[in-house]
Structure 1
């Protein structure tokens, strides 16, 4: 065992936040989008003060429950209102954009906030079928994500020999760290491109829970083995584990914090739309069908909840299984004050 292995995860693995800009509704009244986005900025400022490593925002189109549809625009606002914390996208969905335009936006952000911008790259083509049509995409678009990523990187690296037919302005000069938001197919893509990788989702959580002591994630081990460093951006292998987390002083209170988002995810499978988050006392839990109840518990099983010490223990187990270099905490809450308290407790117990 090396000295590094003996250091607790809380002392060596940085902690970051992903905010999807979840919309909220209380008493049937929706919170205005301006307030939702202002809350995201306030949370980023608090995250900086607490010592979190990064603050990322997401991209979802035409989803009533999420106001985060334009990550690069929101990133500019966040960078302007913070000073030190890294700002990034979790992620920019490549099929939805022209690679040159994305390269220009990323490079502009980097010029505005030098040394603080990250770009997470995804391949989703929309939550429901009308969305990709509105974005002028078809079902095959997600399978072109590798080529789109290579073209984007060529513009950021100014590599005319690798697909960049023009020089993107402003020039990024390979300064922006890149991360692939991974599925089982795209973990190898991250290794081929020489980027960081973000892993998460039900498969990872289930595998971590079922793993024997000392067992590790096979796909992540393959990523490290097959990683091809880029001579231009010089990124090393970097594994970010994304997981929903809710922390409270009492375990039962933390479990309640995770309910509104799990409810919205469950209902989305029935009504076809992810709706704004509602307080627990406004959820019709008794009206769930047996199938919906099973789905609700499945979603809750993907969330790490508990007291600070309980959450730390669960995160350390996940880190050990995944061999993670960083944890990206996601998950939305219906109560902004409880969200702030959760962030504070997590930062305290992690020692960020």
Structure 2
């Protein structure tokens, strides 16, 4: 393998996906176990996500889950990918991350995004609507101000214990958020690796517009995407089947189901529309043997100039998922922490 990937960090984002026949508690506990596994393998960060009212996804309270992950680990950085800021008051978010940083100093990351609820019903339950995402830049500035003590929206109010602490902030973006990250002078987390042209445009925009800040002196890019590694390319592609079907199911039936075993999915009758979404869900991801994946990631890093890759893979077979992360760690030359 080329040494081009030397110095590039590799991290993991887990969405606490449930499997058929499994309850949410099992999925959440599995997320904590996976964090322990990837910590031992030498990954840099382990992040958890925020989803509300989504069948098949157990992770609805990322700061709570991050606390459990941080308590079960000792070296890997722990954070959120991300807290969806339009769903929360910035003061409350600052307080939560302040508590995390106070409990686990030097290990907490604060990844925030601008998405709102999955459906109209969820948005109403959260007391939000789609337009709230347009205030993300304003909310982000307030959030950072709670840590520095410079927020002006609420005079004489202070975030405890957040004020004075340094919790590294990251902005999650699918494109338009890149400009907000650049203006705020924050690291950017952007995906996915499949839409390479759009990804490169957003990264170029971010770097060109970046303004140094107390949080980051220069641009920092984390590219996110699905990576599946197995003994053969066919086996790696099969790891993608459960998530591809869940996406096809959600886009045609409106429900995001738990992950199902690939052998059952491959025998399912699908409508033409479902088949189209399913095949699209399988396409473009980085997958294959260790050598194939290392080459593909080397190209992605060279094209984007990314300093870090965040892997977001989901599949039905947890043992196969763990093996994929082990193979990926070998492929990119991570140093095990348990060595």
Coarse TM-score class (shorter-chain normalised) = over 0.9
SS of aligned partner of 1:12:
coil
Contact 2:63 2:97 in 1 (8 A): yes
Query: Is 2:26 aligned against 1:35?
Result: yes
Q: TM-score, normalization: structure 1?
A: 0.90
Counterpart among 80, 89, 94 of residue 85 in structure 2: 94
**From 256, 259, 264, the counterpart of 1:282:** 264
* 2:219 is the counterpart of 1:230: no
2:337 matched to which residue of 1?
A: none
> Residues 155 and 164 of structure 1 are in contact (CA less than 8 Å); yes or no, is this contact kept in structure 2?
no
Instruction: Look up the match of 1:183.
Output: 174
Q: Give a deviation string over 1:299-347, Cα, whole Å, max 9, x none.
A: 1114211111111111111111211110000021101100110010000
**Distance in 1 between the 2:30 and 2:268 partners?**
31
Do 1:123 and 1:142's aligned partners in 2 also have CA atoms closer than 8 Å?
yes
Partner of 2:286: 304
Number of aligned positions between the proteins? 333
CA distance in 2, matches of 1:330, 1:251: 19
Partner of 1:51 in structure 2? 42
Q: Distance in 2 between matches of 1:124 and 1:111?
A: 27
Indicate which of 38, 53, 58 corresponds to 1:62: 53
Counterpart in the other structure of 2:119: 128
**Deviation for aligned residue 1:273:** 1.3
Alignment of 1:1-352 (within 5 A): 8-25=3-20, 30-161=21-152, 165-201=156-192, 205-207=194-196, 217-231=200-214, 233-283=215-265, 285-352=267-334
Is the partner of 2:219 in helix, strand or coil? coil
Q: Provide, for residues 94-143 of structure 1, a one-character-per-residue CA deviation record: whole Å limited to 9, x for no partner.
A: 11111100000011101111110001111111122211111000121111
CA contact (8 A) 2:19 2:56 kept: yes
Instruction: Supply the RMSD in Å over aligned alpha carbons.
Output: 1.7
**Residues 218 and 32 (structure 1), Cα distance of their counterparts in 2 relative to 1, 3 Å cut:** closer
> What is the alpha-carbon distance in structure 1 between the residues aligned to residue 200 and residue 331 of structure 2?
26
Q: Which shows bigger deviation, 168-177 or 186-195? A: 168-177
Q: TM-score, normalised by structure 2?
A: 0.94
Separation in structure 2 between the aligned mates of residue 164 and residue 179 of structure 1, nearest angstrom: 26
- CA–CA separation in structure 2 for the residues paired with 1:164 and 1:171: 16
Q: Secondary structure at the match of 2:194?
A: helix
Distance 1:99 1:165 in 2: 16
User: How far off its partner does 1:9 sit?
Assistant: 3.3
- Distance of 2:261 and 2:253 partners within structure 1: 19
Contact 1:151 1:164 in 2 (8 A): no
Cα distance in structure 1, aligned partners of 2:154 and 2:176: 23
Deviation at 1:64, TM superposition (A): 1.1
Gaps of 5+ in 1: 1-6, 211-215
> SS of the residue aligned with 1:118?
strand
- Greater mean alpha carbon deviation, residues 277-286 or residues 130-139: 277-286
SS of residue matched to 2:182: helix
Secondary structure of 2:67's counterpart equals helix
Instruction: Choose 132-141 or 153-162, whichever is displaced more.
Output: 153-162
Gaps of at least 5 residues in structure 2 are: 335-339
Q: 1:197 to 1:234 in 2, by over 3 A?
A: closer
Counterpart Cα distance in 2 of 1:302 and 1:67: 26
Q: Distance in 1 between matches of 2:261 and 2:155?
A: 49
**Residues 164, 306 of structure 1: CA spacing in aligned structure 2 closer, same or farther, 3 A cutoff?**
farther
